[in-house]
Amino acid sequence: MGRSILVTGGSGYFGEILAGDAVANGDRVRIFDINPPAATAPGVEYVHGDVRDRDAVRAACDGVDVVLHNVAQVPLARDRELFRSVNVVGTANLLVAARDAGVSKVVHTSSSAVFGIPESNPVTEETPCRPLEAYGRAKLEAEVLCREAVASGLDVTVIRPRTILGHGRLGIFGVLFEFVADGAPVYVLGPGDNRYQFVHTADLADACLRAAGREGPSVYNIGTTEFGTMRDTLQALVDHAGTGSEVRSLPVAPAAAAMRVLATVGMAPFAPYHWLLYGRSLWFDVTRARTELGWEPTRSNASMIIESYDWFLAHRDEVESSPRSHHQSAVRPGLLRILKRLR
Amino acid sequence: MTSDSRTARVAVVTGAAGWLGQNLVRALAGHRERVRCLVHDAEQAPLLEIVAPSIETVVGDVRDPATVDRLFDAIGPAAVFNAAGVIHPGGRTRELFDVNVGGAQLVLDRARRTGVTRFVHVSSNSPFGANATPNQRFTEDSPYNPYLAYGESKMEAEQLVQRSYDRGDLATVIIRAPWFYGPFQPERQTRFFSAVRRGMFPIPGAGTNCRSLAYTGNLVHGLLCAEVADGAAGGAYWVADAEPYELREVIQGVRVALEAEGLPVSQRQPHLPALAGTVAAALDRVLQDRGLYVQGLHVLGELKDTIACDISRARADLGYEPATGLVDGMRASVRWCLERGARI
């Protein structure tokens, strides 16, 4: 007899895959999301609702053993008020409802953005959080709420993923993949020698489901163990693509300034998170997840960016039409198309 | 924390999502069966309820009789902590009277009809203005001398509370708190920390004028003492840190706290001519006479004054003993900011 699991944000990029993996594990799954899932698998119940609506959240938690909380406005939303109302207050709504409903475990999906640019790497669960932008601050506030919920009797585990890749992942990567597919150059900030770690959707889902089965509150940093520099990762991608696309460097300060300006006037799909962190090293020590959860990452940076790219190629025509969440949609490249012509 | 037989099993807190309220609610949560909280915005409700299952929220405005009815609905015997108030109104002074006086009247009225065991009212130094000389300290015998609209509104509220006691309606205790500091601080306090850190917070004159400050933890302790102290009903008490600080000591205390929490601090200390404070206070007065409020002027106008109190009577009558001093309290505030990723 499987657990009854509520997946909030279960129609989003990661939530949908997580819900599917939970079903495959034999769990009964209820999806709570403002959008319906693309396809409702057998054994999945969809509850429409907004995490800002307390009554809706309360109803969704009824009769649930475990909540996997993934609702969030992602950096691309660039809306401080939404970061607060959805990521902070929405999390409080969920935690209070889960506690009142007698939920035995909540797994809260946080973000590596809570760390900002770390003073040193690797980043452990004990590294001080110093977020640099509104999204990271809101995700950190949500973590504080998780700790308060733990103190008030709820079992909450926090998962902090590195940047997520996998089939179906688009968002900002949609622009990158389009450049590569069309043989245009792709860019790193500065030399691109910053060590940048990704995590595969399937590995992250595995970590969440393992955390859901482990009693007692904890925090886990989650990322692949096979990764190199940003340039290495993109090089592996262009080598695989064989489209003539090559990796070029952009000077850090002017590029970051240009990203900021273009984003501010709405002409390029960037958020502060991107220009602050894309050129910086940030990687997790995942020892705690390995020892406490028995979790092992199965994909490298290179294999997952290639997988994501191949999925993009296979689905390029569809993704331009259907309205989905930020990370499931191709963002509009805006003025970046000019860069694309600089062959 | 006090939880002897005299504490009420149920507490009602107005202004529960405010700076003091957040601290008070957390102190009450684990020790009371129910803590009924009035919060202004719906978004504040889950952020408080997360603290403990004992916390119940009522969303609404203290000026709205129907809201205050809901606050006391089926509450039974309870202690009331009236911490709702406006300090810096948004542009016009009218709000000060509507909330601080009108709200207090509504809460007093509903509390009387509910069988409240004790009514603890949070007041301020503002009904008493500034000390006449640098060495004078306010005591419970000091006469009212309200400073501008806020001071008048808090004075009127005190008078309502006192009348309610005099009529035999409620066992009231007034707690007068000066400038406070501590966790759950509003953004203006974080901006104050930032300005000190960057060496951009100006001191008018030499900064040797004295100010009493109250660490929120000390103040919460004072409120809880006021709930149970025998013979305190009908009284009004100054509650603050053990001794007043010179203004320049306060600024230095913030610097020390920031550095102790790992934030490099500029040692630059800009000074304004003492006259700047006087001019700001005069302008503030002219504007407030016309019902207008400009926060920056008001703050600068008050900064030059000595506003210091003597807490002897709270010690003697309430058993109040401030446990936290300036640097430790400021460090706790800085940590609170950093834990939430605030930029200082």
Q: Which of A91, A148, A156, A276 is the best substitution to test chain B (most B C-beta atoms within 10 A)?
A: A148
Residues of chain A with CATH 3.40.50.720: 4-164+198-222
CA distances for B273 relative to A194, B121, B210, B276, angstroms: 50, 37, 17, 6
Tokens of A225: 């163990």
Q: Is the pLDDT of residue B115 over 90?
A: no
The shortest C-alpha distance from B185 to chain A (Å) reads: 15
Q: State which fold the A4-164+198-222 domain adopts.
A: Rossmann fold (3.40.50)
Whether residue B1 has pLDDT greater than 80: no
- Could you give all domains of chain B from N- to C-terminal order, each with its CATH number? 10-184+213-242+307-323 (3.40.50.720)
The beta-carbon neighbor of B51 closest among A88, A89, A152 is A152
pLDDT for res A321: 63
More confident residue, A268 or A198: A198
- Which chain A residue has the Cα nearest residue B343? A132
B321 DSSP 8-state letter: -
> Which pLDDT band, with edges at 50, 70 and 90, does A14 fall under?
very high
Q: Please count the residue pairs, one from chain A and one from chain B, whose beta carbons lie less than 8 angstroms apart.
A: 50
Residue B46 to chain A, least CA–CA distance (Å): 5
Q: What is the mean pLDDT of residues B14-32?
A: 97
Among A177-186, A318-327, B216-225, the range scoring the smallest mean pLDDT is A318-327
pLDDT digits (tens, 9 = 90+) for A111-165: 999 999 999 999 999 999 999 999 999 999 999 999 999 999 999 999 999 999 9
* Nearest by CB: B341 against A95, A99, A136: A136
Is it true that domain A167-196+227-282+299-340 has CATH number 3.90.25?
Answer: yes
B50, B56, B338: which to substitute to probe chain A, counting the most A Cβ within 10 Å? B50
pLDDT higher than 60, residue A223? yes
What is the rounded CA–CA span in Å between residue B170 and residue A249? 74
pLDDT band (50, 70, 90) for residue A323? low
For chain A, say whether B79 makes contact (Cβ under 8 Å): no
Q: Which residues of A touch B43 (CB under 8 A)?
A: 84-85, 89
**Nearest C-alpha of chain A: how many angstroms from B339?**
7
* Per-residue three-class SS string for chain A: CCCEEEEECCCCHHHHHHHHHHHHCCCEEEEEECCCCCCCCCCEEEEECCCCCHHHHHHHHCCCCEEEECCCCCHHHCCHHHHHHHHHHHHHHHHHHHHHCCCCEEEEECCHHHHCCCCCCCECCCCCCCCCCHHHHHHHHHHHHHHHHHHCCCCEEEEEECEEECCCCCEHHHHHHHHHHCCCCEEEECCCCCEECEEEHHHHHHHHHHHHCCCCCEEEEECCCCCCEHHHHHHHHHHHHCCCCCEEEECHHHHHHHHHHHHHCCCCCCCHHHHHHCCCCECECCHHHHHHHCCCCCCCHHHHHHHHHHHHHHHHHHHCCCCCCHHHCECCCCCHHHHHCCC
Nearest to A274 by CA among A318, A224, A326, A235: A326
pLDDT average, residue stretch B12-31: 97
| CB within 8 Å of A92: residues ≥ 6 apart | A145, B46, B47, B49, B50
Question: Which neighbouring-strand residues pair with A198?
Answer: A163
pLDDT band, very low/low/confident/very high, at A342 (cuts 50, 70, 90): low
Confidence (pLDDT) at A260: 83
The CA distance from B149 to A84, in Å, is 33
Q: In sequence order, what are the residues at sequence separation of 6 or more whose Cβ sits closer than 8 angstroms to the Cβ of residue B205?
A: B271, B272, B273, B274, B277, B304
Test A92 with B47 for CB contact under 8 angstroms: yes
Question: Phi/psi at B232 (nearest 5 deg)?
Answer: -85, -20
Q: Would you say A40 and A14 are in contact if contact means Cβ atoms under 8 Å apart?
A: no
- How confident is the model over B137-151, as a mean pLDDT? 96
The number of angstroms, rounded, from the C-alpha of A7 to the middle of its chain's C-alpha atoms is 15
- Chain A CB contacts of B334 under 8 Å are none
Chain B residue with minimum CA distance to A54: B46
Nearest CB to B46: which of A93, A131, A141? A93
Q: Which of B132, B124, B111, B336 is nearest to B217 (CA)?
A: B336
CA distance B344 to B334: 8
Q: How confident is the model at residue A1 (pLDDT cuts 50, 70, 90)?
A: low
Chain B partners within 8 Å of A141 (Cβ): 340-341
pLDDT at B3 over 60: no
Mean pLDDT highest for which of A245-249, B60-64, B201-205?
A: B60-64
CB contact under 8 A, B51 and A148: yes
Q: Which residues of B touch A85 (CB under 8 A)?
A: 43
Average pLDDT, stretch A174-196? 90
Residue B332 confidence (pLDDT) above 50? yes
Higher pLDDT: B329 or B299? It is B329
A15-32 pLDDT, tens digit per residue, is: 999 999 999 999 999 999
CA distance B190 to A144: 18
Whether A343 shows a pLDDT value over 70: the answer reads: no
Query: Per the CB < 8 Å rule, is B46 touching A89?
Result: yes
Secondary structure class of B271 (helix, strand, coil): strand
Residues of A in contact with B49 (CB under 8 A): 92, 96
- Region A63-87: mean pLDDT is 90
Given a contact cutoff of 8 angstroms between Cβ atoms, the answer to whether B266 and B204 are in contact is no
Residues B194/B251, Cβ–Cβ less than 8 Å: no
| Any A CB within 8 A of B265 CB | no
For the cut 70, the answer to whether the pLDDT of residue A330 exceeds it is no
Query: How high is the mean pLDDT of chain B?
Result: 94
B148 burial level (CB within 10 Å; 0-12, 13-18, 19+): buried
Burial class (CB in 10 A: 0-12, 13-18, 19+), B72: buried
d(CA A35, CA A58): 18
Which two three-digit tokens encode residue A159?
């998962």
* A336 pLDDT above the threshold of 80: no
Long-range contact list for B53-61, CB < 8 A, 24+ apart? B53/A99, B53/A100, B53/A152, B53/A153, B54/B29, B54/B30, B55/B25, B55/B29, B57/B16
**Which residue on chain B is closest to A115 by alpha carbon?**
B341
With an 8 Å Cβ cutoff, is B45 touching chain A?
A: yes
Lowest mean per-residue pLDDT among A172-176, B9-13, B195-199, B257-261 = A172-176
Output the six-digit token pair for A79. 């809306």
The total of other beta-carbon atoms located within 10 Å of residue A38's CB is 11
Contacts 24+ apart (CB under 8 A), A46-51: A46/A10, A46/A11, A51/A8, A51/A9, A51/A86, A51/A90, A51/A91, A51/A93, A51/A94
Q: What pLDDT was estimated at residue B232?
A: 96
> Which segments of chain B does DSSP mark as H helices, in order?
19-29, 44-49, 65-72, 94-96, 104-114, 148-166, 187-197, 216-228, 247-260, 274-289, 295-303, 312-313, 326-339
How far is residue B8's CA from residue B46's CA, in Å, rounded to a whole number? Answer: 24
- Chain B residue with the nearest C-alpha to that of A102: B53
Q: Are A125 and A220 in contact (CB under 8 A)?
A: yes
| CA distance readout (Å), A272 to A80, A133, A248, A263 | 12, 6, 22, 9
Query: What pLDDT does residue B4 have?
Result: 60
Q: Do A144 and B340 touch (CB under 8 A)?
A: yes
Chain A contact for B52 (CB, 8 A cutoff): yes
Of A95, A99, A141, the CB nearest to B340: A141
The closest alpha carbon to B273, from B208, B206, B211, belongs to B206
> In the beta sheet, which residues pair with residue B79?
B11, B118
From chain A, the residues in CB contact with B51 under 8 A are 148, 151-152
Domain with CATH 3.90.25 in chain A: 167-196+227-282+299-340
Q: Which residues contact A120 (CB under 8 A, 6 or more apart)?
A: none
Q: What is the rounded average pLDDT of the residues A221-233?
A: 95
pLDDT band for position B2 (cuts 50, 70, 90): very low
Contacts of A84 in chain B (CB under 8 A): 43
- What does the block give as tokens for A331? 């963002």
